[in-house]
């Protein structure tokens, strides 16, 4: 009886399969129900919501209000609320400060390197700060090089992050003083490269970029058949390079203390400029009223959206959270002030980080779809939408939905964790109707590829002619394997193209 009341109030028809669809879209309901009947989803929890992008009208829903883990789809909430809170023109600053006076070529007192969390900061930009100090005629610092990372608290990882992800680039430490060694802004990492020696059997040569004194390299790799492994021991800065190689092989490796790495890199930059620091290097806080000797600014937050969303960059996202409030907890609280304007009730979600890496995060497809509807009314919408991956074209969707009506049409955010997959975005039907959709899958078995379900849903929506609903063939149920497959391992153990438990960008598969 209650179901009848709800249906009457919303103008929806409840289907026997548990879906609810606007009257007149029976064919769409049938086809989406058939897709979700895939045998690979046995025992899984699947929620899906489809809405009109302009009016918010529900077109189809199935368990759309059920809270679930959504992986990197949480970045949808974090980025939109950060754009609302900080503004698209926000920039991070990194400064050289001192309360001492310059006497000739000597800076009397400490030299403070103060960071505010810029996840795009590079070794080259740290060198530019050192160059600025040289341009002032400084060749000696009588005090210490003080590393001020106090803009963020000392909690390295989000609550509920998996301990065994810790050595990998998608799970780095969030620090107010950090650096990114690559164009994707993999903050909190360095690049370790193994190169072949002069002859077969000779020891491989190992280099680190940027060079620093924080990593301990244990190299047993030789020159020979390709098959080198580069892995950091859990909880340490010991990096083991083993196997053999005939060509350069590189890996992004996280570090236990990004601030210390920055200190080493910046001191090297000072020394390259002929500037000697007499008092060593230590962590501390810049004194009140210290003068700014040199400053660096990041690109704008609006510009950061592209590498963040296209590549599903966790570390930029977590920097946003801590920038909002100094810690994971307070940052989420500050961002939550903007959730109501995005159609999300803070009382009915559980959020502990920004990237979705926490297994404690829970949000419903209805909420994710609402964000995509509300975002269209925001002044920063154009910048945000253009930063989302495009099916078959770029980002984490570059290899998906090619050759279909969804290619170049679907603009969406992916999400991937072991047992979790999600896709939320925009699609335009053949009749020109703009839709928002969100599909979230939980409790998945690891051998099953949930991306096929998401792609089928998106393609079906792209083929929907609107008033004249088009039917698609019912997909075949995927056979369940007779023998259990081995669970997916970490990136060095399983070919990237065979992994469904991480974003493809995290393992260089897209």
pLDDT in tens, 419-452: 999 999 999 999 999 999 999 999 999 999 999 9
Q: Is residue 41 part of a domain?
A: yes
**Do 442 and 375 have their domain in common?**
yes
For the cut 80, the answer to whether the pLDDT of residue 498 exceeds it is: no
**Same domain, yes or no: 227 and 266:** no
Query: Which residue, 246, 270, 297, sits at the end of a domain?
Result: 297
What does pTM read for this prediction? Answer: 0.90
Q: If you search the block for the tokens 């100090």, which residue do you land on?
A: 133
* DSSP letters for 425-487: EEEE-TTS-EEEEEEEEES--TTS-THHHHHHHHHHHHH--TTSPPP-PPPPPPPPPSSPPPP
The alpha carbon of 229 is separated from its chain's Cα centroid by a whole number of angstroms, namely: 24
The CATH code of the domain that includes 127 is 3.50.80.20
Same domain, 404 and 462: yes
Per-residue pLDDT band at 495 (split at 50, 70, 90): low
45, 123: one domain: no
Residues 143, 225, single domain; the answer is no
Question: What tokens were used for 310?
Answer: 């296209």
CB 80 within 8 A of CB 375: yes
Report whether pLDDT(15) > 60. Answer: no
What average pLDDT score do residues 467-495 get?
42
Domain co-membership, 107 together with 64: no
The verdict on 292 and 146 lying in the same domain is: yes
| Same domain membership, residue 503 and residue 436 | yes
And the tokens for 454?
A: 């998401």
pLDDT at 14 over 90: no
312 has catalytic annotation: yes
Tokens of 318: 């977590």
Active-site residue identified among 63, 75, 122, 171: 75
Given 98, 171, 298, 312, which residue is catalytic? 312
Is residue 425, in this structure, part of any structural domain at all? yes
What mean pLDDT is predicted for residues 92-103? 97
Flag whether pLDDT at 497 surpasses 80: no
In a domain, 78, yes or no: no
144 and 266, same domain (yes or no): yes
Q: Is residue 150 part of a domain?
A: yes
Domain count, the chain: 3
Q: What is the CATH number of the domain that holds 452?
A: 3.40.710.10
Q: Which residues pair with 417 in a beta bridge?
A: 420
Shared domain for 375 and 500, answered yes or no, is yes
- Asked which of 254, 283, 307 is the last residue of a domain, the reply is 254
Mean pLDDT, rounded, for 344-356: 98
Q: In this structure, are 264 and 238 located in the same domain? A: no
- In terms of domains, do 19 and 145 share one? no
Sign of CA dihedral 377, 383, 388, 390: positive
Give the H/E segment covering residue 132: helix 123-135
Q: Is 72 a catalytic residue?
A: yes
Instruction: State phi, psi for 106 to the nearest 5 degrees.
Output: -110, 130
**Residue 346 within a domain:** no
How far are the Cα atoms of 238, 244, 245, 336 from residue 203, in angstroms, in the given order? 19, 9, 10, 53
In percent, how much of the chain has pLDDT > 90? 86
Task: Name the packing angle between helices 74-86 and 365-375 (round to 10°).
Answer: 40
Tens of pLDDT, residues 383-417? 999 999 999 999 999 999 999 999 999 999 999 99
Q: Which of 63, 68, 72, 505 is catalytic?
A: 72
What average pLDDT does range 82-101 have in this prediction? 98
**Residues of the domain holding 288:** 93-154+258-297
Query: 167-226 pLDDT, tens per residue?
Result: 999 999 999 999 999 999 999 999 999 999 999 999 999 999 999 999 999 999 999 987
Q: Classify strands 276-277 and 45-52 as parallel, antiparallel or unpaired.
A: unpaired
* Residue 16 included in any domain: yes
Q: How many residues does the chain have?
A: 510
């Amino acid at each position: 009886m209650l179901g009848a009341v709800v249906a009457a109030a919303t103008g929806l028809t409840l289907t026997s399969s548990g879906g609810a669809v606007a009257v007149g879209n029976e064919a769409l309901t049938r086809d989406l129900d058939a897709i979700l009947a895939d045998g690979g989803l046995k025992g899984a929890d699947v929620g899906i919501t489809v809405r009109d992008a302009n009016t918010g009208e529900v077109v189809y829903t199935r368990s759309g209000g059920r809270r679930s883990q959504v992986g990197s789809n949480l970045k949808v909430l974090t980025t939109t609320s950060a754009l609302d809170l900080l503004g698209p023109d926000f920039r991070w600053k990194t400064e050289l400060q001192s309360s001492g006076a310059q006497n000739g070529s000597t800076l009397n007192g400490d030299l403070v390197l103060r960071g505010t969390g810029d996840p795009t900061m590079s070794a080259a930009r740290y060198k530019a700060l050192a160059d600025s100090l040289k341009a002032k005629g400084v060749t000696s610092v009588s005090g210490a090089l003080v590393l001020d990372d106090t803009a963020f608290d000392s909690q390295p990882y989000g609550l509920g992050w998996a301990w065994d992800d810790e050595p990998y680039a998608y799970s780095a430490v969030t620090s107010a003083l950090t650096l990114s060694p690559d164009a994707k802004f993999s903050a909190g990492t360095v690049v370790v490269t193994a190169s072949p020696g002069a002859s077969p059997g000779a020891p491989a040569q190992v280099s680190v970029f940027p060079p620093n004194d924080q990593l301990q390299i244990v190299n047993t790799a030789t020159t020979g058949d390709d098959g080198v492994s580069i892995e950091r021991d859990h909880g340490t800065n010991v990096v083991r390079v083993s196997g053999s190689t005939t060509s350069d092989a590189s890996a992004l490796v996280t570090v236990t203390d990004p601030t210390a790495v920055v200190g080493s890199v910046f001191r090297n930059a000072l020394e390259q400029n002929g500037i000697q620091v007499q008092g060593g290097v230590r962590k501390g806080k810049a004194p009140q009223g210290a003068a700014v000797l040199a400053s660096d600014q990041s690109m704008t937050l609006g510009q950061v959206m592209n590498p963040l969303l296209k590549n599903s960059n966790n570390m930029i996202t977590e920097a946003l959270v801590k920038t909002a409030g100094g810690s994971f907890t307070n940052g989420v609280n500050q961002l939550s002030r903007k959730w109501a304007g995005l159609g999300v009730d803070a009382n009915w979600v559980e959020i502990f980080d920004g990237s979705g890496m926490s297994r404690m995060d829970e949000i419903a497809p209805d909420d994710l779809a609402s964000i995509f509807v509300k975002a269209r009314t925001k002044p920063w919408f154009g910048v945000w939408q253009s930063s989302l991956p495009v099916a078959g074209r770029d980002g984490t969707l570059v290899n998906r939905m090619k050759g279909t009506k969804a290619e170049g049409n679907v603009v969406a955010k992916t999400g991937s964790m072991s047992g979790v997959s999600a896709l939320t975005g925009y699609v335009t039907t053949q009749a020109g109707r703009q839709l928002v959709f969100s599909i979230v899958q939980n409790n998945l078995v690891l051998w099953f590829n949930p991306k096929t379900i998401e792609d089928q849903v998106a393609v079906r929506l792209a083929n929907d002619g609107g008033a004249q609903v088009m039917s698609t063939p019912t997909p075949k149920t995927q056979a369940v394997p007779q023998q259990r497959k081995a669970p997916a391992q970490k990136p060095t153990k399983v070919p990237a193209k065979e992994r469904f438990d991480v974003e493809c960008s995290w393992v260089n598969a897209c």
